[in-house]
Amino acid sequence: MDDRPIGIFDSGVGGLTVVARVRKTLPSERIVYFGDTARVPYGTKSPGVVRRYAQQDAAFLAGFNPKLVVIACHTVSALAADLLRKKFTSVQFLDVIGPSVARAVAATRSGRIGVIGTAATISSGQYQKALKKADPAVRVATAVCSLFVPLAEEGWVSGRFVEEVADRYLRPMRAARIDTLILGCTHYPLLKRAIRRAAGGQVVLVDAAEEIAREARRFVQAGRMASSRPAAPPVLYFSDCAGTRGAVIRRFLRGGGCRLRRVSPAFLEEACDV
């Protein structure tokens, strides 16, 4: 038994899709979440800035002595996961890229896999490298879908406008005749219906939140680290609560209670800088 919490962090509210999946998969575990809403988005920041923010985020969660920290942010997973493992040797990290790649390679029949994400995630090339490493024969198509993030946060997840945006973004995927598509951003699961329609009904969508939740369960079970305490609502920390309205949280968390807390960016810069 291990009653320490599971830490999860992202650049904003998108990582709450991961919180929702982990809570469903591991209902007895305590979850501490940090969303860096004061400095979102990470996807448009330089690699150096992303790495600095990621280290501060990880240091904040390390203060809770977690049994595991899930890097819910695809941009951080692409640009800073290896750095975090080197810097925080006493912390176990799981990133979203590995489980998503494993699922995509197992699911594809044609060997044509698509990846959609933020500019930073796609330009890092980490998904492309990981897919090629897993199976050198696969062909990878990518697309930056920046507008999906604000659409998801505003609750614009269906309707003609959303479908037109999705159709425009997914044209390269249809041209590449992919049969498997990795949703490379925590916001994108909220737009699954529009993405599926634009990509083609037969395309397998790989939801990183689902895959990382399964990986977290395997980690907890393999280490016999299940919590002995009754389930408790997740504690959600944000660096700016202005954009964390109840409706937004409910949309991403998909029901259930939670406790909200604020941590200032100044604290992150001063106390959590490494």
Supply the DSSP string of 219-251, one letter for each residue: HHHHTT----SPP-PPEEEES--TT--HHHHHH
Which residues form the domain of 134?
A: 97-208
Residue keyed to tokens 């916001």:
187
Residues 6+ apart with CB under 8 A from 198: 163, 166, 167, 169, 170, 174
**Is there a domain that residue 81 lies in?**
yes
Per residue in 18-45, is it b (16+ CB within 10 Å) or e — as a string?
bbbbbbebbeebbbbbbbbbbbbbbbeb
Predicted pLDDT at 130: 98
Residue 257: CB partners within 8 Å, gap ≥ 6? 233
At 14, is the secondary structure helix, strand, or coil? coil
Mark whether 229 and 197 lie in a shared domain. no
- Asked whether residue 265 is domain-assigned, the answer is yes
Task: Tell which wins on pLDDT, 132 or 272.
Answer: 132
Give tens-digit pLDDT for 113-127.
Answer: 999 999 999 999 999
List, for residues 150-177, the tens digit of each pLDDT value. 999 888 999 999 999 999 999 999 999 9
| Residues 90, 222 within the same domain | yes
Q: Which of 162, 179, 208 is the last residue of a domain?
A: 208
pLDDT tier at 1, thresholds 50, 70, 90: confident
- 187 and 260 in a single domain? The answer is no
CATH number assigned to the domain comprising residue 23: 3.40.50.1860
Query: Taking 70 as the threshold, does the pLDDT of residue 215 lie above it?
Result: yes
Nearest to 152 by CA among 185, 192, 187: 187
Query: Which pLDDT band, with edges at 50, 70 and 90, does 48 fall under?
Result: very high
- Alpha helix (H) residue ranges in the chain: 16-25, 47-62, 74-79, 81-87, 97-107, 119-124, 126-134, 148-153, 160-176, 192-199, 208-222, 246-253, 265-271
Separation of alpha carbons 237 and 26, rounded Å: 20
Whether residue 83 sits in one domain with residue 104: no
Considering the domain architecture, whether residues 101 and 194 belong to the same structural domain is answered as: yes
Token pair 């060997």: residue: 111
- Whose CA is closest to 234, among 66, 17, 19, 12? 19
In a domain, 150, yes or no: yes
Q: Are residues 106 and 190 in the same domain?
A: yes
250 shares a domain with 115: no
**Contact present, 45 and 53 (Cβ < 8 Å):** yes
Active-site amino acid positions: 73, 185
- Where a domain ends, among 160, 182, 208? 208
259 has a pLDDT exceeding 90: no
The letter for the amino acid at 222 is A
Q: Are residues 200 and 215 in the same domain?
A: no
My answer on whether 117 and 193 are in the same domain is: yes
- The total domain count for the chain is 2
Asked if 14 and 149 sit in the same domain, the reply is no
Domain-ending residue, one of 208, 234, 260: 208
- For residue 1, being part of any structural domain is answered with no
187 and 220 in a single domain? The answer is no
Residues 142 and 53 reside in one and the same domain: no
Residue that is written with structure tokens 């044509």 in the block: 112
How far apart, in whole angstroms, are the C-alpha atoms of residue 113 and residue 95?
Answer: 20
pLDDT tens digits for range 220-251: 999 898 888 877 889 999 998 775 566 678 88
